């Protein structure tokens, strides 16, 4: 699975970072960085929660 972020939607709320800090980080420049673009299956529940809770619905999961 691959993490996809629509940066046209992302407004750096940092909710994803709170849910899955292994994958997402908002830095002091207020931009979101994807730390792990292809996380392990073990992180799927956290990633799915980040997808659901992202206030701008900017995150999706690609299965490739």
Q: Any idea what DSSP says for residue 40?
A: -
Chain Cα centroid distance, residue 50: 6
Residue placing its CB nearer to another protein in the complex, 12 or 36:
12
Kindly tell me the number of DSSP H helices and DSSP E strands found in the chain: 2, 4
Q: Tell me if 26 contacts another protein by CB under 8 A.
A: yes
Q: Say whether residue 50 binds another protein (CB under 8 A).
A: no
- Does position 5 interact with another protein (CB under 8 A)? The reply is no
Q: Does 53 bind another protein (CB under 8 A)?
A: yes
Tell the smallest beta-carbon distance from residue 17 to another protein (Å). 6
Spatial distance between the Cα atoms of 1 and 52, rounded to a whole number of angstroms: 16
């Amino acid at each position: 699975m691959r993490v996809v972020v629509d940066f046209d939607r992302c407004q750096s709320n940092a909710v994803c970072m709170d849910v899955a800090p292994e994958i997402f980080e908002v830095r002091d420049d207020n931009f979101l960085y994807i730390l792990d673009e292809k996380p392990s299956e073990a992180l799927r529940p956290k990633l799915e929660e980040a997808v659901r809770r992202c206030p701008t619905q900017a995150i999706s999961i690609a299965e490739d």
